Amino acid sequence: MAARRNTSAEIVNAVLYLDRAGCAWRLWPKCFPPWETVYWHWARWKTNGTADRVHDALRDRLRDASGRDPMASAGVIDSQSLRGADTVGAAQRGYDAGKRTNGTKRHIVVDTLGLLLVVLVTAASVQDRDGGRRLLERLRFAMPSVALVWADGGYAGRLVRWAKDRLRLVLQVVRKPADQQGFGVFPILLTPI
């Protein structure tokens, strides 16, 4: 049997498979290059910023294809607590009492199409308003054109004033109707910028 060539296309296809399937590195299908090879490339791309540049270029192309300016002007911020895997160290974990979850929390800002603008992963014990401050600072650096961000009640309070004063960003808290129970989609009242 001939030695397998690990071309760039095979490496990219393997990374795309990993992203789609979400499988563990060591449960790698034999049709791809060895997991150690793919992991080495992926780690290098994460470290040197290649993965972020590819993501941003793809997002910009999707926005452009949708008739939107690649530089977003508005976004939505939220977080999600996730149970930590056994391999996640105690230093990276935290307990989110509201969600009764011991693990991590991902804080994200997406544009109005739902495309990722910035992400921050913290311990689950980090409050939305605290993670939100760090995330909004990243947003200002990554996408300075954003002038309005919609948020739920977890981001209310001092963060709204801080975002306006420090980042020149309108953080509009959208409240759930008093009679609503559980999850529900409701219209956003647009604030003039």
pLDDT digits 0-9 by tens, 45-96: 999 999 999 999 999 999 999 999 999 999 999 999 888 777 777 777 777 7
> Do 81 and 166 share a structural domain?
yes
> Do 90 and 135 share a structural domain?
yes
Burial 26-45, CB ≥16 within 10 A → b, else e = eebeeebbebebbbebbeeb
> Do 80 and 44 share a structural domain?
no
Task: Record the pTM.
Answer: 0.80
Confidence of residue 109 (pLDDT cuts 50, 70, 90): very high
pLDDT digits 0-9 by tens, 163-185: 999 999 999 998 777 787 776 66
> Do 78 and 151 share a structural domain?
yes
CATH code (residue 83)? 3.30.420.10
Token pair in block for residue 106: 């991902």
> Do 44 and 75 share a structural domain?
no
**Would residue 125 count as lying in a domain?**
yes
Confidence of residue 1 (pLDDT cuts 50, 70, 90): very low
> Do 80 and 23 share a structural domain?
no
Beta-carbon contacts of residue 85 (< 8 Å; ≥ 6 apart): 103
Q: How many CA within 13 A on the CB side of residue 132?
A: 28
What is the extent of the structural domain holding 149?
69-173
92/106 Cα distance (integer angstroms): 12
Mean pLDDT of the chain: 87
H helix runs in 28-180, sequence order: 35-48, 50-65, 128-142, 158-167
> Do 74 and 43 share a structural domain?
no
> Do 75 and 40 share a structural domain?
no
CB-CB contact of 155 with 132 (8 Å): yes
**Would residue 187 count as lying in a domain?**
no
**Would residue 26 count as lying in a domain?**
yes
**Would residue 146 count as lying in a domain?**
yes
**Would residue 180 count as lying in a domain?**
no
CB-CB contact of 115 with 142 (8 Å): no
pLDDT value, residue 89: 72
> Do 108 and 162 share a structural domain?
yes
11/9 Cα distance (integer angstroms): 5
> Do 154 and 77 share a structural domain?
yes
Q: Helix 158-167 to helix 128-142 angle, to the nearest 10 degrees?
A: 20
98/47 Cα distance (integer angstroms): 34
Confidence of residue 41 (pLDDT cuts 50, 70, 90): very high
**Would residue 97 count as lying in a domain?**
yes
> Do 164 and 80 share a structural domain?
yes
Query: Mean pLDDT, to the nearest integer, of 105-119?
Result: 94
CB-CB contact of 115 with 62 (8 Å): yes
Amino acid symbol at 71: M
